[in-house]
Amino acid sequence: MDKGLNESRKDFPILDQQVNGEPLVYLDNAATTQKPNQVLTAILNYYQADNANVHRGVHTLAERATDRYEAARDKVAAFINAASRKSIVYTRSTTEALNWVAASFGNLVVNEGDEIVISQLEHHSNIVPWQQVAQKRHATLKYIDLTKDGELDMASAKRQITDKTKIVSIAHAANVMGVVNPIKELAAIAHQHGAYMIADGAQAVPHMKVDVQDLDVDFYAFSGHKMLAPTGIGVLYGKQDLLEMMPPAQFGGEMIDFVHHQDASWTQLPWKFEAGTPNISGAIGLASAIDYLNQLGMANVQAYEREIVAYTLPKLLSIDGLTLYGPSDPNKHTGVMAFNLAGLHPHDVATGLDMEGVAVRAGHHCAQPLMDYLNVTATARASFYFYNTFAEADKLVEAITAVKEFFADGIS
């Protein structure tokens, strides 16, 4: 498996460089993934051959651009098994998608005395919008607790989700703890209580096969840049009847049916949410990224990541003074591994690793409530993808050991 998927590294020229005199080991994939030549070529080809605005033009370039833009929507729908292309709305990011659901749908269905349930694992993008809805609608925001291994505590979930709950919004995969949450089970619990289920799929869609119909989520959001596509393109999936209910989140060109002097009417799904000139090249790049991932096979991507996590986790846990956050079972883990070294600030750890050519993230990872829950200010985070190798996992462990010894010598 290592050799099979790693043959794809040739498609990522950015990985073939040195940083601070060392071969680059890129382990910041949870923040953004690198882009293969195929995606870059698709974007360049659009600008060189088909560049025009979509939908409104009748000339040949506009028609070609529109065809490619809408064909990308079909690929997205197939990739997550949406029942209809009308359920696929382009956004800038997971963040924008979740904000649209909160501001439009949340304010539509949440009333005074209702409850919104999220978890201690969430990214700020899945916390702050719901805080705003709760404050505006005089609702209560509740948190599902975690187990000692950093997994979602389902007993807590069943206590927190009640007949007063209107919204349950949970990350499918966590960006710090690396856990995969039981979204299908949570959706069933939410629906039993008459609540709507929303999933933040930013850390899931790039790493496993996602079937929104099987999960039975009401809304699902994810970003292109975490799955080989460009920045600035994201997706909001919503059940068609719910999207029909929602008022648009933005207004302007593209999303109107007719504008009178004093009022206006909206066009049909999915375009009623896509005001203004869209990110055409981003959608085309996303389609190319989906082609690439389909060629690899999402089952193969997930299996490989589990292998490299199973290889790496014991080595990390063997480092004296290293604390790992999240489960130690690789079958319950994505390629995200957050950790701290005793006595060292995560920023110092990340800077030291960078001097060894190893790129990791350090900080609160837009999850400050989780940092409070863990009683830390920040963590370092290494995150793997299918183009990372077992040799790079070894380099991570060696570099952490070197950083630890460097600071120990400096302190002594």
Please identify, among 294, 313, 333, the residue that sits at the C-terminal boundary of a domain: 294
Residues 290 and 343 in one domain: no
Residues 346 and 276 in one domain: no
Query: What is the C-alpha separation between 142 and 132, in angstroms, rounded?
Result: 13
Residues 25 and 74 in one domain: no
Query: Mean pLDDT for each 10-residue chunk of the chain (412 residues)?
Result: 68 96 97 98 97 89 94 98 96 96 95 97 96 97 95 97 98 96 98 98 98 98 98 97 86 65 68 80 98 97 95 95 90 92 95 97 93 94 97 97 84 48
pLDDT at 2: 43
One-letter amino acid identity for 11? D
Q: Name the active-site residue from 19, 52, 366, 402.
A: 366
Q: Determine, yes or no, domain membership for 405.
A: yes
pLDDT at 255: 58
CATH number where 263 lies: 3.40.640.10
Q: Determine, yes or no, domain membership for 144.
A: yes
Q: Is the dihedral of CA 233, 234, 240, 241 positive or negative?
A: negative
Q: Determine, yes or no, domain membership for 24.
A: yes
Q: And the tokens for 243? A: 């999207």
Residues 91 and 220 in one domain: yes
pLDDT at 3: 42
**Phi/psi of residue 205, nearest 5 degrees:** -55, -35
Helix, strand or coil, per DSSP, at residue 247: coil
CATH number where 353 lies: 3.90.1150.10
For residue 327, whether the previous peptide bond is cis, meaning omega lies within 30 degrees of 0, is: no
pLDDT at 273: 73
Q: Determine, yes or no, domain membership for 35.
A: no
pLDDT at 99: 95
Residues 84 and 212 in one domain: yes
Give 296's contacts (C-beta < 8 A, 6+ positions apart).
Answer: 5, 8, 386
Q: Determine, yes or no, domain membership for 230.
A: yes
Q: Determine, yes or no, domain membership for 283.
A: yes
- The three-point CA angle 388-393-398 to 5° equals 145
The boundaries of the domain holding residue 85 are: 40-294
Residues 46 and 102 in one domain: yes
Residues 80 and 102 in one domain: yes
Residues 216 and 170 in one domain: yes
Residues 24 and 101 in one domain: no
C-beta neighbour count of 103 within 10 angstroms: 17
C-beta neighbour count of 115 within 10 angstroms: 21
Predicted TM-score (pTM) of the model is: 0.95
Q: Determine, yes or no, domain membership for 34.
A: no
The total domain count for the chain is 2
Would you say 133 and 139 are in contact if contact means Cβ atoms under 8 Å apart? yes
Would you say 166 and 195 are in contact if contact means Cβ atoms under 8 Å apart? yes
Query: What is the C-alpha separation between 85 and 77, in angstroms, rounded?
Result: 6
- CA 267 to chain CA centroid, nearest Å: 29
Query: What is the C-alpha separation between 255 and 250, in angstroms, rounded?
Result: 9
Please identify, among 294, 317, 341, the residue that sits at the C-terminal boundary of a domain: 294
**Phi/psi of residue 169, nearest 5 degrees:** -130, 115
Residues 184 and 286 in one domain: yes
Please identify, among 294, 325, 359, the residue that sits at the C-terminal boundary of a domain: 294
Would you say 98 and 104 are in contact if contact means Cβ atoms under 8 Å apart? no
Residues 78 and 137 in one domain: yes
Q: And the tokens for 378? A: 């920040």
Residues 238 and 361 in one domain: no
Query: What is the C-alpha separation between 294 and 358, in angstroms, rounded?
Result: 29
pLDDT at 141: 98
- Active-site residue 366, yes or no? yes
